[in-house]
Amino acid sequence: MMKTRYVNTTFAAAIAVGLVLFAILGMVPNASAQNVGISGMTFSGANPSDGDVITISVTVHNNATFAISNVTLAFYVDYVEIENITGINLEANSSSNQEIDWTTESGTHTISAMLRVNDMPLPDTEISSEIEVTLGDPGTLIGALILIVAVVFITPLVPSIFEKLKGQNSRRRE
């Protein structure tokens, strides 16, 4: 005689989903969010001008007692992602300095960075700072303005100056 077994399919499905998540993530998602973070955002230039290339640096740390892998550090300017560093692996109780270069644009900008673990954003890890980028060096701007004025106003006068000089020379010959 054959015995029939009944399996709770909801329970089996929940276990299967949990195992798949564990296999994909390689860890409990909340454990990484609680233990990994960013500190100390710095910029290489104190008073950058428009078009300068500055280095943005942050420290990524893992305070867990286990290693965390496949960490992505995303950098944003005014909440638009400009670059990311992928494949950061952090040993237990360790940190890693990460940096990117950014070509500045004039204005006040919010620079921020946030972590993703296995492509899952960790909003609690966001760090941000504001930076003021000036239009340019005042001396250079004044020099450029003088050059523009000279070209715009003096260039049309040059032919008439030559004509006047030419007329004076022809009168002297007479």
Enumerate the domain spans of the chain: 9-133
Number of C-alpha atoms within 13 angstroms, CB side, residue 20?
6
User: Which H/E stretch holds residue 106?
Assistant: none
**DSSP-based helix, strand, coil % in the chain, nearest 5:** 35, 45, 25
Name the pLDDT band for 30 (thresholds 50, 70, 90).
very low
The band of 135, judged by pLDDT with boundaries at 50, 70 and 90, is confident
**CATH code linked to domain 9-133:** 2.60.40.10
Block residue for tokens 């710095």: 42
How does DSSP classify residue 118? T
Mean pLDDT in the chain? 77
Dist. CA 82–CA 75, nearest whole Å = 6
Measured between alpha carbons, how far is 37 from 33 in angstroms, rounded to an integer? Answer: 8
**156 φ/ψ angles, rounded to the nearest 5 degrees:** -65, -25
Highest mean pLDDT among 45-49, 66-70, 131-135: 66-70
Q: How far apart are alpha carbons 24 and 113 in whole angstroms?
A: 24
pLDDT in tens, 139-173: 665 666 676 766 666 666 667 766 776 766 666 66
d(CA 139, CA 70): 48
